[in-house]
């Protein structure tokens, strides 16, 4: 097994490994690399839905997504699908999954089944590298601050996003989750500090004026959106990507209109954040 950094800020490519035949030592290596790099990318896998589930369950319990369409016969697996005639894609903006939950999901494990001939890449951003690059004054300003996260504006039945999306999300009446988390998060596995706010689900900073909250979040987002904190993954069929929601953002590019793109995703449960 070969693990090579994908960029200085986030991600590693893992080659010469079959995810259906991992021994205990190899899995330990992957676990360490995952928390160190924030995302792992595996080429040339050949996974059945059962294989996908077995691999996910080695990490933790599966967190069944409330809103995505499941794969027939496999409620643990959510379809990430855009048909040729659809305009909007899933995940088409910077975000991190499940930050609106009291106990956010550890990560997502996404397996590529159909990839368009060009386009459809996913961008990743590293929150540890972004935090490290802040100046001392900003780090001091952020220490102890918390942010509120929610999902009604995305998955709720009356949200503009749901209307534009053509009702492709289900269970919209249950989109009522809100949670408060530290802006500077000590990673629960490594203790490394990283930023934990995102444009998709963060609503406001707790305990400060609304205008100041918007201004500070805008500053942080502009900082994280600098390309030195990113890696761009070019998908191939049979590729599996997994990322740590506590230390990364991701963004699925929507530049393949007229083509089908289909991946299966399993979300893995996390632990309480402090």
CATH of domain 2-268: 3.60.130.10
* Three-class DSSP category at 253: coil
Residue 174 has pLDDT above 60, yes or no: no
**% of the chain beyond a pLDDT of 70:** 89
Q: What is the pLDDT of residue 274?
A: 79
Residue 154 has pLDDT above 70, yes or no: no
* Three-class DSSP category at 160: helix
Sorting pLDDT into bands at 50, 70 and 90, what band is 223?
very high
Q: What is the pLDDT of residue 43?
A: 97
DSSP letter string over 154-208? Answer: HHSTT-HHHHHTTT----GGG---EEEEESEEEPTTT--EEE---TTTEEEETTS
Q: What is the pLDDT of residue 91?
A: 76
Q: What is the mean pLDDT of residues 152-168?
A: 51
Residue 71 has pLDDT above 50, yes or no: yes
Sorting pLDDT into bands at 50, 70 and 90, what band is 156?
very low
Distance between CA 90 and CA 40 in Å, rounded? 20
pTM greater than 0.95: no
Q: What is the pLDDT of residue 157?
A: 53
* Three-class DSSP category at 259: coil
Sorting pLDDT into bands at 50, 70 and 90, what band is 168?
very low
Judge contact between 34 and 242, C-beta under 8 A. yes
Sorting pLDDT into bands at 50, 70 and 90, what band is 111?
very high
Sorting pLDDT into bands at 50, 70 and 90, what band is 172?
very low
Residue 160 has pLDDT above 80, yes or no: no
Q: What is the mean pLDDT of residues 205-215?
A: 96
Which residues are the active-site residues?
95, 97, 250, 265
**% of the chain beyond a pLDDT of 90:** 80
Most confident listed range (101-105, 164-168, 263-267): 263-267
The tens digit of pLDDT for each residue in 76-106 reads 999 999 999 888 777 788 999 888 888 999 9
Q: What is the pLDDT of residue 155?
A: 53
Beta pairing, strands 107-114 & 240-244: antiparallel
């Amino acid at each position: 097994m070969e693990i090579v950094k994908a960029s200085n800020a986030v991600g590693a490519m893992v080659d010469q490994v079959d995810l259906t035949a991992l021994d205990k030592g190899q899995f330990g290596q992957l676990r360490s690399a995952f928390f160190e790099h924030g995302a792992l990318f595996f080429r040339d896998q050949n996974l059945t839905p059962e294989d996908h589930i077995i691999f996910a369950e080695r990490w933790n319990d599966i967190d069944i997504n409330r809103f995505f369409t499941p794969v027939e016969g496999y409620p643990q697996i959510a379809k990430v699908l855009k048909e040729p005639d659809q305009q909007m894609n899933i995940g088409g903006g910077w975000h991190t999954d499940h930050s609106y939950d009291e106990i956010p999901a550890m990560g997502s494990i996404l397996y590529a089944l159909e990839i368009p001939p060009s386009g459809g890449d996913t961008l990743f951003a590293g929150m540890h590298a972004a935090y490290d690059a802040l100046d001392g004054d900003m780090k001091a300003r952020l220490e102890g601050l918390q942010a509120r996260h929610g999902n009604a504006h995305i998955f709720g039945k009356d949200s503009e996003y749901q209307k534009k999306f053509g009702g492709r999300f289900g269970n919209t009446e249950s989109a009522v989750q809100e949670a408060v988390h530290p802006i500077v998060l000590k990673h629960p596995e490594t203790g490394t500090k990283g930023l934990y706010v995102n444009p998709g689900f963060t609503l406001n900073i707790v305990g400060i004026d609304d205008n100041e909250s918007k201004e500070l979040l805008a500053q942080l987002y502009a900082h994280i959106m600098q390309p030195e904190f990113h890696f761009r993954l070019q998908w191939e069929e049979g590729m599996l990507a997994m990322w740590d929601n506590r230390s990364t953002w991701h963004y699925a590019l929507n530049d393949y209109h007229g083509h089908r793109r289909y991946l299966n995703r399993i979300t893995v449960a996390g632990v309480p954040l402090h």
